Amino acid sequence: MSQTKADLLQGTLDMLVLKALGLGSLHGYGIIQRIGQMSEGMLTVEQGSLYPALYRIEQRGWISSKWGTNETGRKAKFYTLTRAGRRQLAVEEASWDMLALAIAKVRQAT
Amino acid sequence: MSQTKADLLQGTLDMLVLKALGLGSLHGYGIIQRIGQMSEGMLTVEQGSLYPALYRIEQRGWISSKWGTNETGRKAKFYTLTRAGRRQLAVEEASWDMLALAIAKVRQAT
DNA sequence: TACTGTACTTTGACATTCTAGGCATCACTC
DNA sequence: GAGTGATGCCTAGAATGTCAAAGTACAGTA
């Protein structure tokens, strides 16, 4: 693992995916790229992590998928955030804030 | 899970344990309490999570253990941060900072 | 023709956490 | 002196999620 890249912690990927889709529908490959861009290259999502996650997230009703074609005419599966997904994103962001706050407290404790 | 408690994400427990021991040697039960205190009750570590983690961390040489007696005369196993453990704590704190920064970037991305 | 980049999927390995128990000792209360 | 709750350690099994590695397919390009 390179020095400038953070490992993903279990549980953070869903939030990242939902967040990426919050900016508009995308296919899987595009999600990986968008997360890379949004994090300014600090976060790299592996395909082998993403696709199972997409399946899982869709099962839970937070995203929906539809086959379509991208701008170059190639087939791709497009994922869209559902209303429930938008709610879930808020939940996960709140959880993250809570955890980050708790960790911060621990770190400043004497 | 209650509303005021954050779930631990995989990978954060080691850092918390090392941090707790950074303030002085402790037995397992005390580590749980200290983490609870330090996080002002936001973080709860289960015994079933902690003891395997302690074993794992000791195997890696970041802590050492010794049986002793606590202030009330009861037997307990005391864990102490090693020099390597102190280094590891710094590494994990840096990783956490990196991840938190990356997540922050993603969240503010438009 | 071969190679590169895009795009989706599956498999198996791996690590970590949690639930749910068990065990023992001690202090306190009824 | 029996029960209860807090202290203290440990294990087994299940669930979860991430990753590495591989395969498939197609379009463009050299």
Subunit contact A99:B39, Cβ cutoff 8 A = no
pLDDT in tens, A56-66: 999 999 999 99
* pLDDT value of position A2: 31
B41: left (phi over 0), alpha (psi -120 to 50) or beta: left
DSSP string for residues in chain A: --TT-PPPPTTHHHHHHHHHHHTS-EEHHHHHHHHHHHTTTS----HHHHHHHHHHHHHTTSEEEEEEE-TTS-EEEEEEE-HHHHHHHHHHHHHHHHHHHHHHHHHH--
Do residues A34 and A16 touch, judged by C-beta distance below 8 A? Answer: no
Percent share of chain A, pLDDT over 70: 95
Helix, strand or coil for residue B3? coil
Chain B residue with the nearest C-alpha to that of A36: B106
- Cα–Cα dist B95/A80, whole Å: 31
Subunit contact A99:B23, Cβ cutoff 8 A = no
- Which residue, counting CA atoms, is nearest to the C1' of nucleotide D18? A49
Pairing of strands A63-69, A75-81: antiparallel
Do residues A57 and A17 touch, judged by C-beta distance below 8 A? Answer: yes
Residues of chain A with pLDDT under 70: 1-6
CA B77 to chain A, closest CA, distance in angstroms equals 23
pLDDT greater than 70 at residue B5: no
Subunit contact B95:A10, Cβ cutoff 8 A = no
Question: Which one of B1, B31, B99 makes the best mutation probe of the A interface by having the most chain A beta carbons within 10 Å?
Answer: B99
B53 touches strand D (CB under 7 A): no
The tokens for B32 are: 């749980």
